[in-house]
Amino acid sequence: GPAVWLASSGSDFVNGQTIFIDGGMTVVV
C-alpha cells in the first residue's frame, strides 16, 4: 500500500513532489 511505498522507494521524493501510488492514484504533498 501507499504507506509501504512511501517508507521505501518513495521516501526520497516526498518533499513537495507529486507521487504516484499503486492503483493509479496521485497524491500531492
pLDDT of residue 6: 58
pLDDT of 12 reads: 59
Per the structure, the count of domains in the chain is 1
Place of cell 507529486: 18
Strand partners, 18: 28
Cell numbers at 6, concatenated: 512511501
pLDDT tens track for 1-29: 566 655 666 555 555 555 565 555 555 55
**2, 24 Cβ separation under 8 angstroms:** no
**What pTM was estimated for this model as a whole?**
0.18
- Which residues constitute the domain of residue 11? 1-29
DSSP string for residues in 6-29:
HHTGGGGS-SS-EEEETTTEEEE-
Q: Would you state the pLDDT for residue 23?
A: 56
